[in-house]
Chain A
Amino acid sequence: DIQMTQSPSSLSASVGDRVTITCQASQDINTYLSWYQQKPGKAPRLLIYDASNLETGVPSRFSGSGSGTDFTFTISSLQPEDIATYYCQQYENLPFTFGPGTKVDVK
């Protein structure tokens, strides 16, 4: 199975800050990577697919980049409603696997 790691595991930032989360795959996954946002008590929401494509309806302050084994997710200007846990997920190989998540708080 492809192992996904994320860092940091949690972070706290101020409204308006730029927030960056990294995700690393244990082997080359090309750009077969998605990012999800999950708020407490809710189902996850797809934000980014194919490493850098913004899902329809998702605010443009969210972005993703990378290919191969190293990926980055960025919130350009953190908003209070962005408090959530963010997960990366690979779909290069079965089984599809997720990173452990990054919990984002607002200071």
Chain B
Amino acid sequence: QVQLMQSGAEVKKPGASVKVSCKASGYTFTGYYMHWLRQAPGQGLEWMGWINPDSDVTKSAQRFQGRVTMTRDTSISTAYMELTRLRSDDTAMYYCARDRRDYAPGTLASWGQGTLVTVSS
């Protein structure tokens, strides 16, 4: 079965960077897009971007461009999301989610357990 295991909670100071990992198992890692999303406390879901683990092509929401970097290591079936220049309003649960299809990304079928990132001075 598809499993996505994310790294543990992080506490960062404003201006710092955070890198969250997402280790995939139970399927061919390079076969499906991987998305990153976040959810601020008590708020809704916000899509940040996706990476095609096969081609290493990425697309991110414009509001995160310049601050977010999505990478992958196919040798260990792991995707990464790094967010720089952290602000207090970046405090959120961050999720990785595997796409349902191996083409035309958009349906988020399998989710990691979430990584809580807290930004506080």
- Please determine whether A94 and B61 come into contact, CB atoms closer than 8 angstroms: yes
Whether a CB of chain A sits under 8 angstroms from the CB of B107 is yes
Q: A49-B100, A95-B62, A97-B47 are in contact. List 19 more A-B contacts (CB 8 A).
A: A34-B107, A36-B108, A43-B113, A43-B114, A45-B111, A46-B100, A46-B107, A49-B107, A55-B109, A87-B44, A89-B108, A91-B105, A95-B47, A95-B63, A96-B35, A96-B47, A98-B44, A100-B44, A101-B45
11 contacts between A and B (CB under 8 A): A43-B113, A44-B95, A46-B107, A49-B100, A49-B107, A49-B109, A89-B47, A89-B108, A98-B45, A99-B44, A100-B44
SS of A interface (majority): loop
Residues of B close to A43: CB separation below 8 A: 95, 97, 111-114
Among residues 66 to 107 in chain B, which have CB atoms less than 8 Å away from a CB atom of chain A?
95, 97, 100, 105-107
- Please determine whether B109 and A44 come into contact, CB atoms closer than 8 angstroms: no
Residues of A close to B100: CB separation below 8 A: 46, 49, 55
How many interface residues does A have (CB within 8 Å)? Answer: 22
In the complex, residue of chain A having the shortest beta-carbon distance to the beta carbon of B108: A46
B94 to chain A, nearest CB (A): 11
CA distance in complex: A73, B95 (Å): 24
In the complex, residue of chain B having the shortest beta-carbon distance to the beta carbon of A38: B45
**Other-chain contact of A91, B44, B63, B106 (Cβ < 8 Å):** B106
Whether a CB of chain A sits under 8 angstroms from the CB of B56 is no
Residues of B close to A87: CB separation below 8 A: 44-45
Among residues 58 to 107 in chain A, which have CB atoms less than 8 Å away from a CB atom of chain B?
87, 89, 91, 94-101
Residues of B close to A50: CB separation below 8 A: 107
